[in-house]
Structure 1
């Protein structure tokens, strides 16, 4: 809650109270809207009266929230039956979450097999804003966690997983990324020049896999390949990483083709899951 400061005049205090009430009202509307969607998710469809009664809202309030969500396609209204149901946008959001989660779960057998073959940590990551979020990891017993632990969000341009995703961007997407914020380095090996990074991404695109030779962490190396969704679009990155003392630079080139094949297999399994 916004508090009035000492010595503040009455007008300023009133404005603060109005802002506080406005913010609270918006949050309350959001909570009520999600409540309506939760109930619709439990049923094929509901009338306005039944829905309002179930969530303990006046019909007028429920109708206002529903029509707003209808405009955004989160709910839909059948005018022939006067019933409300979940809309296509809610399904789209849910499907994206399911696919993201499945990258860590669906591909786990592939990740285990890959780990047993290469004897290094295997990770799966998805884009998250200007970073890459690691959503799954398979490692041998005794492996010391690195920066690429599940839940961590690391910069795109200093990681193999991030760079392999960037390699599939359009020129405009790359230019927008560079324009939004400077390319900050993490180590002396980080690529912080836009032209040099652009050339690096072109090489990655032609080769099929990306490498992080101590670009994020001076003691860590990684190699990554693209995982595609059912439409063939970039979805995430499968990677192999380890301490530099355990993963020589020359070994990255050996692992690259193997990783590409594993990523293609994971892409096929994900595509099959959604057809």
Structure 2
């Protein structure tokens, strides 16, 4: 984020709003520990004065709270209220939560849940496993293009071929630039394998020595609306366990969607 320059066509007011929202997004990814003002400024490339001014405004409006003991800022009650207003959009994640936690406890691996938004997938939850997780693993609120990661790949494979191709064309330049270990040239063969297998397997491409499995959650019409992802170390995911876990995750996804349909949530 540029401290001084405005984006083309952007007004000072829009820039201020964008910076304030960036602070909220950053704090959402640092829950529950929160962040100090120096870290907020450094992560967003803001001067200390600008970071203090924007963060204090969010405190005044109760979107952020300040812990005097730790000197950290965290999300406040108004952020929670806004989240509750948007809750219907996250009903599926709520329905899946018990199953995701059970899967993480049963396997000892990390389990993530992402929903589809356009040609992107957004991580809504992650359940703790026993194995160490890499520091650059998905956090709640992170988004990535369809095709990247096991969840994005599982969702992409469940789309009609023409739509999947449109997603790759739209996302391709961004993927090739920002995900050099998983460019479109690598995604295409993985996409074919995912369609044949019924679930996605990412063999240590995104994060070395960590593998991931992904399954889509499908509506009755076959439309993917979300994905469940399991991440573990390469040593724990031998072929037999890979197949067993893939089938287990498919059953979980079907069970979640069955309950969602009964509630009229999808």
Change (3 A) 1:132 1:249: farther
Secondary structure (helix, strand or coil) at the match of 2:184 reads: coil
Instruction: Provide the rounded CA distance (Å) in 2 between the counterparts of 1:168 and 1:99.
Output: 24
**Length-normalised TM-score, structure 2:** 0.58
After TM superposition, give the deviation of residue 101 of structure 1 in Å.
Answer: 1.1
| Aligned twin of 1:264 | 254
Are residues 1:111 and 2:92 paired? no
Are residues 1:192 and 2:184 paired? yes
After TM superposition, give the deviation of residue 121 of structure 1 in Å.
Answer: 1.2
Secondary structure (helix, strand or coil) at the match of 1:151 reads: coil
Are residues 1:172 and 2:171 paired? no
After TM superposition, give the deviation of residue 123 of structure 1 in Å.
Answer: 1.1
Instruction: Provide the rounded CA distance (Å) in 1 between the counterparts of 2:222 and 2:91.
Output: 16
| Aligned twin of 2:6 | none
1:186-235 deviation digits (Å, cap 9, x = unpaired): 465x3532xx6444323322322111111222232110111124655211
Check conservation: 1:187, 1:214, Cα contact below 8 A.
no
2:121 to 107, 132, 147: 132
Larger radius of gyration: 1
Secondary structure (helix, strand or coil) at the match of 2:229 reads: strand
Residues paired across the two proteins, number = 185
| Aligned twin of 1:73 | none
Check conservation: 2:200, 2:213, Cα contact below 8 A.
yes
Q: Which moved more, 1:175-184 or 1:253-262?
A: 175-184
1:86-112 deviation digits (Å, cap 9, x = unpaired): xxxxxxxxxxx5454123221111112
Check conservation: 1:122, 1:239, Cα contact below 8 A.
yes
2:111 to 100, 115, 122: 122
Secondary structure (helix, strand or coil) at the match of 2:226 reads: strand
Instruction: Provide the rounded CA distance (Å) in 1 between the counterparts of 2:158 and 2:131.
Output: 35
Secondary structure (helix, strand or coil) at the match of 1:238 reads: strand
Instruction: Provide the rounded CA distance (Å) in 1 between the counterparts of 2:88 and 2:217.
Output: 12
**Length-normalised TM-score, structure 1:** 0.56
| Aligned twin of 2:202 | 212
1:122-175 deviation digits (Å, cap 9, x = unpaired): 111112344321101111478546522211113322311001111122232223
Are residues 1:153 and 2:153 paired? no
Instruction: Provide the rounded CA distance (Å) in 2 between the counterparts of 1:259 and 1:152.
Output: 22
Instruction: Provide the rounded CA distance (Å) in 1 between the counterparts of 2:222 and 2:248.
Output: 20
Structure 1 unmatched ranges of 5 or more: 1-15, 28-96
